[in-house]
Structures are given as C-alpha cells and as structure tokens.
Amino acid sequence: MSTRYAGLIERYRNRLPVDDYTRIISIGEGNTPLIQLQNIPSIIAKDVDIYVKFEGLNPTGSFKDRGMTMAVTKAVENGSQAIICASTGNTSASAAAYAVRAGIKAFVLIPDGKIALGKLAQTLMYDAQIIQINGNFDSGMSLVKEISKHAPVTIVNSINPFRIDGQKTAAFEIIDELGYAPDYHCLPVGNAGNITAYWKGYTEYAQDQGDLKAVVSKRPVMCGYQAAGAAPFISGKMVDNPETIATAIRIGRPQSWDHAWNAQKESAGWFDCFSDEKILEAHKMLSHYEGIFCEPASATSLAGALKDIASGKIAEGSKIVCTLTGNGLKDPDTAINQCKDSHPVTIDATLDAVKKAILDKM
Ligand SMILES: *Cc1c(COP(=O)(O)O)cnc(C)c1O
C-alpha cells in the first residue's frame, strides 16, 4: 500500500459520510502541523504549553479546504453541476479550487472591496465565476440562501452539514497527535462553523473512547474570540455593520449561532472580543517570535489565549491549542502595513557597504 498522504477523507473515511464508491474530490488537504510555541511562553513568563494548529498550510491556504473536500465530494455524488457560496475570501478560493478539481462550476459572491488581495488572486486563478456585490458578507449570505431555491446550485457555505463534517477532522488530528485532548481550544469566530466543527470532532472521539480512556475522552474548554467591531457573540445579538481589519471574521450574522452557543455551554467555555490593535499585536508576535505567518483573523485565537492566560482564567500548567485558520500570504497589504517602520536599507553594491550594513546590525 502506498503511504502517500491522500487527504483527510481517506484518513478518516470511517468517520465521514462516504462509501466505497464515492468519488473523492481532494487536493491533499488536512494533516497540518501542530506547532508548539517556543518563545512566546517565556516572553509572557508563564508556564503553559501553547500549540498552534497551522491551517494556513492547507492546499488553498485556509481550513476551509477541510470542509470543501467533503462538501464538493457530496455535491458531485449527488449530481450537482455547480456550487455557490458567499465569502469573505477564503471560502471562495477553496470552493473555486475544488470545483475545478471536480470539473464543475463555482459561483462566488464576494463583498465589494473588502477582500484580501491573496484571496482575490487565488479565486481569479482558479477560474471561479465571481459575482461582486455592493454589500457585505451577511447580505451575500442571505442572497445565496435565497438563490439556491431558484437555480440548480449547491450551497457550500458552512450551513452545508458536510462542511462541518470535513472540518471536524482537525480535532481528530490534534488528539491523534498529542494522544489527548488539550485543556483549552482557542478559535477565531466569524460564522461559527469552525467552532461547531471542532466541538463535534472532540465529542465524537470522546464518545467512542467511552470511559475506558478517561484522558482521551476529555474534551477541551472551547474559547471563541471575535473582533470588537464584529462581535455578535459578545453583545448577544446580531450586528448590522460589522467592521474589522480581520476581514475573514467581518461577519455580523453568524450562521451557526445555536451550535456555537451549544459548544460554549457544553464545554463551560466562553466568548470574548478584541480590538484590531490587539489582534494585529498577536499577528506580529507569531511572525516575530515564532516564524509563523498567519492571517490577521487567525491571530485572534492567540490574542484571546494570551489575555486569558495573563488574567489567570487559563491556569498555568494548561495545554492550549490555538487554531491559526489561514496563511499570512493571503493578506500581504495588512502584513506590509504592520512593518511600516522597518523599511529595508538601500546601500551601494560593494563588499564594504554590505559588510558595514551587517556589522551595524550585530
Ligand atoms: C472562515 C475563516 C474564519 C472564521 O471561521 P468561521 O467558521 O466562519 O467561524 C476565521 N479565519 C479565517 C482565516 C477564515 O477563513
């Protein structure tokens, strides 16, 4: 048998709704690294194990691929010729890529302007039918839900239950790798599909371990973090004009509202929110101290973990996993703005000048 990694459906086939005859649409998603932070815990002077699940290393650069491999596999199995989604960017890039792979059409509704450059470039390259609307993600989402009653298209937003099934495999990977569930799991929350999916994954593993392996069957406390300008889970009601630099979570009307509240309650977890400054600070810390470049929205998970560790809400000795949902290359504009003050020096192309430039910095 080949040991080639074939994608998460192959790996977790017995836990996913596929059978022997299903044609699997895969680009080798999943199996992303779980990286232990080495420098940040000592910088904050706390005895904690923080791991990041770097979902930016999926084929299109975000965790959306986990859900999309399942959603498109099932759409094709059910005879669909076209898929549709509303997106802040990553869902559209992922949908477009998997549609190409399957040989079907992808229609994507994106908000006018507020989409990170890398995501737009990908979606164009994957040759999706892009429909830009004069509105935000939430209005795109309500249009998509309507249109599927009028046109033969399958919705691949996370209201599609197969998306959640694909995404729950990230929790399986974490337990398979650590040998146990972490004490806390921290996530950025936008539409709240991902927090729903992780909770489902942790719960399924815990259920089949039963009481025999108490350590493994334990589930983490789920911590959902939002941007202050797009924080319906904090205010407890929908937000009309969500605003944040973390465009992937610029969502005011989360579609998985009830499921996310359920995850919070069952896990005795919590929601919290952060200013864009705090999010960008965590974004920069990951690059500067750990060599990990994620997108701004992703860093919300670390911003939250750091606050709750500092306050003692997350105790020392805890094992914490933060999901880094997307790759930093998705949003080069924000990254470059983050480093405005570190312009490269320009010097003469001589040995002396280079030598001086190096010695000046030692
Ligand atoms: C989609 C996305 C999120 C939000 O996930 P939800 O399932 O909508 O809560 C966070 N970060 C990135 C990078 C995303 O692409």
Find the CATH number of the domain harbouring 282. 3.40.50.1100
- Whether 170 is covered by a domain: the verdict is yes
Strands laid side by side in the 105-111 sheet: 129-133, 105-111, 82-86, 154-155
Tell whether ligand 1 has an atom less than 6 A from the beta carbon of residue 65. Answer: no
Distance 286 CA to ligand 1 centre (A): 18
The span from the CA of 222 to the CA of 275, in Å, is 20
In this predicted structure, what is the pLDDT of residue 3? Answer: 62
Tell whether ligand 1 has an atom less than 6 A from the beta carbon of residue 297. Answer: yes
Tell whether ligand 1 has an atom less than 6 A from the beta carbon of residue 190. Answer: yes
Residues of the chain with pLDDT under 70: 1-3, 209-217
Tell whether ligand 1 has an atom less than 6 A from the beta carbon of residue 192. Answer: yes
Tell whether ligand 1 has an atom less than 6 A from the beta carbon of residue 94. Answer: no
CA-based nearest residue to 67, from 137, 151, 166: 166
Q: Which atom of ligand 1 is nearest to the CA of 260?
A: 9
In this predicted structure, what is the pLDDT of residue 211? Answer: 52
In this predicted structure, what is the pLDDT of residue 11? Answer: 96
Residues 53 and 133 in one domain: no
In this predicted structure, what is the pLDDT of residue 260? Answer: 98
Q: Which domain holds residue 101?
A: 64-160
Q: Whose CA is nearest to atom 2 of ligand 1?
A: 248
Q: How far is CA 100 from CA 338, 346, 347, in A?
A: 34, 43, 46
Tell whether ligand 1 has an atom less than 6 A from the beta carbon of residue 122. Answer: no
In this predicted structure, what is the pLDDT of residue 213? Answer: 53
pLDDT in tens, 8-41: 999 999 999 999 999 999 999 999 999 999 999 9
The pLDDT mean for the chain works out to 94
Confidence (pTM): 0.95
Distance 302 CA to ligand 1 centre (A): 14
Alpha-carbon dihedral sign for residues 178, 278, 188, 89: negative
In this predicted structure, what is the pLDDT of residue 4? Answer: 77
Q: Examine the fold and report which residue of 106, 125, 160 is the final residue of a domain before the chain moves on.
A: 160
The helix or strand, by DSSP H or E, that contains position 289, with its residue range, turns out to be helix 276-290
Q: Examine the fold and report which residue of 123, 141, 160 is the final residue of a domain before the chain moves on.
A: 160
